[in-house]
Structure 1
């Protein structure tokens, strides 16, 4: 799953040397001839990523689960003054997380009277029932173009953490913190395996269809087993359209392929990564921001004309580098 716009570039003070390396390389699964390891459709595939599969520990060490607490912005509030929303994010470096702007900037009418009270990030997990160590936000930033335009192609935000993440070093290839939690008289075991993601060369785009991978902690149309687990899927992305559909290249458009049974995003996956691999390292090419869901449904429609929208990271490099470098 290497694409035309997945060239890795080192951005000083923004990206890290060992970015994009996972505990289990998706492209080096020797028993399937260096191809993406997958499963047939089964109970393992019932997921927040519809028709995807359960992610294995260490496959997505750059992914984070984000919880945002909102407070009603009025002294008149005495009861039920707080609300919570959640999303997905991606580790950029030891202190910075990339996510969707709408996870951090409330534009829906139901949230218009609320302000953010706290943002908590759980990095490198694969099960929401075992969240492990949390990291609080110090600051958060929303692309200023999105603040006034609400354009899908600028729906990107950044979170700066108060505390540094234990990102791997040459002497510690992957940082793994074991977590054990008791629930319903049973012990669940997981690990917080962390690493950062790589970024692509600025302004690169794809002019033909390609394949890419995504993952998230979103909602399903119907309750399913294992719904707290991180799920992953793949999509066929269209070539740059250069029209209003992809906001003249700012968005990457994902298609459900094959029709009716291909994996697809659901609401709550917002902020999650769309990645490709180059030289066995993951490159962040997009951030999940929107799905074409039918009324009353949480997931992308079942036909090929139901689209998934991702912010094209290559078109946001200048804002990302500038924001991190100045803060």
Structure 2
């Protein structure tokens, strides 16, 4: 029989103690209304008075804008897009009533608004905010907090029936008003590979469909809660974020509604509630991976190469441009691609921690770029807007300046999202790894500079979409980056790559001193 380590048990109990404070179990239990709600917002049912005592209405300049949920005597949680003007002091917060027309504009005010530090309004990422009230709420039968989940598991409510509440529009029309009475509706979580409009769901969103054909969310429901009933209590699992609208800006209730996943942000909520700043959980050791054996040309397992990143350019969607490699907890090495508009940094993003090439990368894995350091005409180092805090992501090691010949005639590994059909329009949806051999003595390599490595494979090589991939070699027990790919061979038409021929990478060792200087 195995026993828990007592130090671990103490840490676990301490974590739950802090979390309980966040969940606001003070004089009143969380998640237990005095009035039993009908578990049965477009075409939603009018909620009974006091059935959802944690509901809060948010006003701006005396106009209702969003919903929110009380989670502590001095904390309301809502969507970031509802209160993204942190300097605005005209927000008011009303609670303890289902009928917002009875509001007499004597609501509570905020002493501080906490927008998630990685909130991106343009692509609706990390759409979550906490409001610190000026005065603490006195809980009563009319006003109580909702419980926060006790686990960070996102799939706990998959395919389960949940309830949303809000004062949003009631018929989906673009010219209709929000509801005067609090409404509720039943929804079903449809995350798991749904083809009902949820297929492009992001990792930090719940995708929901109405339990009946005429129910869903609409304008004005933003910020409101997605609630799940278990063990006799209501828990807050989601925050209403966005719905799809047609050209006339009318809600399409047949389409899904999307909610920010609260379990994913429990640590951030805890830090804000306790006044503690985040600590980086990035592994200090570089070049360490879980990979035991590399098999050429195969899809990799998650986190096998935790330093390989996707560089995206914001157009209508976040277009994948090329790969890059994390070389510190805040810096990425990649090609000095002429297609980049380096002066337009707000359009450049780095997605990391995922093997999948999604249309919309998970928001927790998306970082903006704040500066670019040009190492040579061919290589650049990107600085991310903050250090990486994903425990599944770590940097690769840099070589020393005397290791240039170490990989000559050796087998190396590369990985990327390049073409699987050998054509320009057939990118792999998953990260693929392959083994290649360095051969700078090959006749076709002679025309390339001594600042390059030439590599060959056995019926495998890089292709369209693989530029920026790293040349990786295991030095001791640590993976080290020796090159960055910039060239592959095509057929005479230039439309199909020839994986039996040579590929070429810039030699990173030649620039390693400049690269290290860029990290300072």
* TM-score calculated relative to the size of structure 1: 0.70
Counterpart of 2:262 (choices 287, 302, 313) is 313
Instruction: Give the drift of 1:16.
Output: 2.3
Counterpart of 1:63 (choices 51, 55, 72) is 55
Matched, 1:51 2:43: yes
Superposed CA offset, 1:232-277 (max 9, x none): 1011111345997221x21000113333x2x110111110000011
Asked whether the 8 Å contact 2:80–2:116 carries over to 1, the reply is yes
Asked whether the 8 Å contact 2:79–2:239 carries over to 1, the reply is yes
Paired residue for 2:97? 125
Asked whether the 8 Å contact 1:120–1:137 carries over to 2, the reply is yes
Matched, 1:86 2:38: no
Name the SS for the 1:122 alignment partner: strand
Going from structure 1 to structure 2, the CA distance change for 1:323 and 1:225 (only over 3 Å counts) comes to closer
Going from structure 1 to structure 2, the CA distance change for 1:244 and 1:225 (only over 3 Å counts) comes to closer
Paired residue for 2:145? 196
Paired residue for 1:255? 209
Paired residue for 1:161? 133
Instruction: Give the drift of 1:201.
Output: 2.5
Q: For 1:136-285, what aligned pairs fall within 5 Å after superposition? A: 136-146=109-119, 148=120, 150-167=122-139, 175-176=140-141, 193-206=142-155, 208-220=158-170, 221-222=172-173, 227-241=179-193, 245-247=200-202, 249-259=203-213, 261=214, 263-285=215-237
Instruction: Give the drift of 1:217.
Output: 1.2
Paired residue for 1:96? 75
2 CA distance for matches of 1:229 and 1:88? 12
Name the SS for the 1:245 alignment partner: coil
Paired residue for 2:34? 23
Instruction: Give the drift of 1:224.
Output: 7.5
1 CA distance for matches of 2:56 and 2:253? 27
2 CA distance for matches of 1:101 and 1:324? 16
Asked whether the 8 Å contact 2:241–2:258 carries over to 1, the reply is yes
Instruction: Give the drift of 1:86.
Output: 1.3
2 CA distance for matches of 1:226 and 1:288? 15
Instruction: Give the drift of 1:94.
Output: 0.3
Counterpart of 2:88 (choices 116, 140, 143) is 116
Going from structure 1 to structure 2, the CA distance change for 1:288 and 1:277 (only over 3 Å counts) comes to same
Paired residue for 1:183? none
Going from structure 1 to structure 2, the CA distance change for 1:149 and 1:117 (only over 3 Å counts) comes to closer
Name the SS for the 1:12 alignment partner: helix
2 CA distance for matches of 1:150 and 1:143? 14
Instruction: Give the drift of 1:302.
Output: 3.7
- Structure with larger Rg: 2
Name the SS for the 1:232 alignment partner: strand
Superposed CA offset, 1:47-80 (max 9, x none): xx111111110111000000123xxxxxxxxxxx
Superposed CA offset, 1:93-116 (max 9, x none): 10000000001115xxxxxxx962
Asked whether the 8 Å contact 2:222–2:242 carries over to 1, the reply is yes
Instruction: Give the drift of 1:84.
Output: 5.1
2 CA distance for matches of 1:241 and 1:91? 32
Going from structure 1 to structure 2, the CA distance change for 1:265 and 1:20 (only over 3 Å counts) comes to same
Paired residue for 2:349? none
Structure 1: any 5+ residue segments left out of the alignment? Answer: 1-8, 27-35, 39-48, 70-82, 107-113, 168-174, 177-192
Going from structure 1 to structure 2, the CA distance change for 1:65 and 1:291 (only over 3 Å counts) comes to same
2 CA distance for matches of 1:61 and 1:165? 12
Paired residue for 1:79? none
Structure 2: any 5+ residue segments left out of the alignment? Answer: 1-15, 277-520
